[in-house]
Chains A and B, each alone.
Chain A
Amino acid sequence: MSFAAGLFYVMAALAVVTALGMVLNLRNTVAGAMCLVVTMISLAVIYVVLDAHFVAVLQIMVYAGAILVLFLFVVMLLNLRSDAFTPSRATAPKVVGAAVGVAVLAAFLAKLPDALPKVAEIPADFGSYRQVGLALYRDYVVPFEVASFLLLAAVVGAVVLAKRRLS
């Protein structure tokens, strides 16, 4: 097994463990967020293994570097200490949730073996910022522009929602 393949499996295991840590960590929201940070970073390493260099950098910059810092910021701003939030005692939602999860996973994995494409050959600079940039600005200009409007709407929405009062 090559170095890259070994890296993939190590990072995959790390991602699953930390994702479970985030979901099962009932008391400490900050620790959960930190688990998710590790998930994001290990996914970024997996992207590098899958020749998606630009996406990997974006994953770290946007997800790990901005979105999850925002989560941490809010958790700290609201001061959600470990004793401020007691876990639910009800078992029914958990059972139903777990059942749905297992069903979804089974459905995915059952479909898996017969539905996959053949692996194609790729050019040397596959997934570089040049390639993605060309695709983004030539073939997907309109979605790109729409996305910028989406972000603008989100900025305005977030400010309006989080502002204490509008005078």
Chain B
Amino acid sequence: MDLWTVVRALFIILVVVAAFAPVITWVERKQSAVMQDRIGANRADIGGITVLGLLHPLADVLKLITKEDFVPAGANRFLHALAPIIAAIPAIIGFAVIPYGATYQFPGHEPFTLVGADLDWGLLYIFAIGSLATYGSVLAGWASNSNWGMLGSLRASAQMISYEVTMGLSVVGVFMVYQTLELTDMAVAQDSTFHLFGFLETFGLVKTLPGWLSFAQLPFWGVFVQPLAFVMFLTCIMAENKRPPFDAPEGESEIVAGYFMEYSGMRFGLFYMSEFIEIVVIAGLLTALFFGGWSIPYLSKDELIAGMTPVMGVGLATALTMVAHVATFLLKVVIMIWLQMQIRWTLPRFRYDQIMDLCWKIILPLSLVNIFVTGAVILLVKGAP
């Protein structure tokens, strides 16, 4: 670990996340408008130019900055000021370990990997900082000396601790399949295909796969080999983000606004922003874990470079491949963001006890079953180590 790694990671995170987050507030408004048969944000303009309402994020920020920064009586001023920052930091630094491209080698140069920080803890890093995100919401409610805020904090802490456990357990199957915790290695492993009916061969039901069956290939993506893990992980990580349908900690029909009730201006804006940044991080994480990261389905990195090399030379082929991979990654991230928006505007809020039941009584046992079945299948396919 050296200083350069830290600086590079911070730079990438800030650029990627800060570019995405404001646009997402706009996407959210437009998405909700589409689903509720409205037009959505289109009024903010500079000299009559509205650009489809894309200026709304700018107007939002201006409004939040100029609003009164209110601190309630009896609040712990220090912790009250600290809580939004604690909530925002884990969200921002989460993107550091998500690879947005493969390892490339240009002739005459050192190979390099497109990732903020190539840590060997990989996914554990995400879990670790995700567990720190709890403090923002817990302190916010406590420090503002408000009963509603306190109730929101209690709900938030219980919900986040519970879902952390199941979130970790639900992706163990993915670790077992790809034999690694590192997201960069995981993306490399997913940059291939597998025979959908390969199990017939493995279990000796047929000697060799007939031609018409061997065409049925799928990308070796997490969502195809661990579909149950994908559903459970998506549920858990959306619950960690505390957005609807898991927004009981801020459920406005029961406890007014929950833990950030006593916040106004840019401090409220930080809570709001960290939720949107987390959407980007979650989308990147889902992409890296379950949708092959940067990989283009049915076209592995080596094939792509080898195919283009005779036409344009190794250097240009590698550069084009790199651009294609980053574009693929961004496309997948956008789709994942859209998926989260869709869920958020489709489902109503769960009741608090339903959220807890879902965590401890459904997802936890299912994830244990998933681990057991995955282990059994790996043992059958690969044999004992």
Contact = CB atoms under 8 A, between A and B. Distances in A.
Q: Do the two chains touch directly in the complex (Cβ atoms below 8 Å apart)?
A: yes
Interface of A: 3-4, 28, 30-31, 34, 37, 41, 48, 53-54, 57, 60-61, 64-66, 69-70, 72-73, 76-77, 79, 125, 128-129
Interface of B: 1-3, 76, 79, 119-121, 124-125, 127-132, 134-135, 138-139, 141-142, 150, 153-154, 157-158, 160-161, 164, 181
Which of A53, A61, A77 has the largest number of chain B CB atoms within 10 A? Answer: A61
User: What 9 pairs between A and B have smallest CB-CB spacing?
Assistant: A65-B131, A60-B128, A57-B124, A61-B128, A57-B128, A73-B157, A57-B121, A69-B134, A61-B131
B359 to A, nearest CB: 14
Given A53-B121, A129-B121, A65 B134 contact: yes
A72 B119 CA distance: 30
A73 B155 CA distance: 10
Nearest to A49: B1
A129 B181 contact: yes
Given A30-B142, A60-B128, A66-B161, A3 B2 contact: yes
B132 A60 contact: yes
Nearest to A133: B181
What secondary structure prevails in chain A residues at the interface with B? helix
A65 B167 CA distance: 14
B121 A69 contact: no
B110 to A, nearest CB: 18
A64 B161 contact: no
Nearest to A75: B142
A54 B121 contact: yes
Given A54-B121, A73-B154, A76-B150, A37 B128 contact: no
Contacts of A30: 76, 79, 139, 142
B13 to A, nearest CB: 18
B120 A57 contact: no
